[in-house]
Amino acid sequence: MEIVSHPEKCTGCMRCMLACSYTYTKKFSLSAARIKIKLPEYTIEFTNDCNNCGKCVEHCFYGALEVEK
């Protein structure tokens, strides 16, 4: 399972980052997220710690993230 990103659909809402940090630290933060939305370029990157759990996909409202099985 791999996460595929579609930056053109990303609105920069950063819900994915919030969901990711909460999943792994039980607290919300931007710095602890394993997915990084770079603004104002709207690029989407994953850190080496990302284990493709898919939480970010689950929380994206805009279809900018997708699980490829």
| Residues that bind other proteins in the complex, under the rule CB under 8 A | 8, 11-15, 18-19, 21-22, 25-32, 38-40, 42, 59, 61-62
* DSSP conformation class of 64: -
Minimum Å distance from CB 15 to other proteins? 5
Residue 17 pairs with which residues in a beta bridge? none
Amino acid identity for residue 6 in this structure: H
Minimum Å distance from CB 67 to other proteins? 16
Minimum Å distance from CB 30 to other proteins? 6
Q: What does the alpha-carbon distance between residue 69 and residue 23 come to, in Å, rounded to a whole number?
A: 21
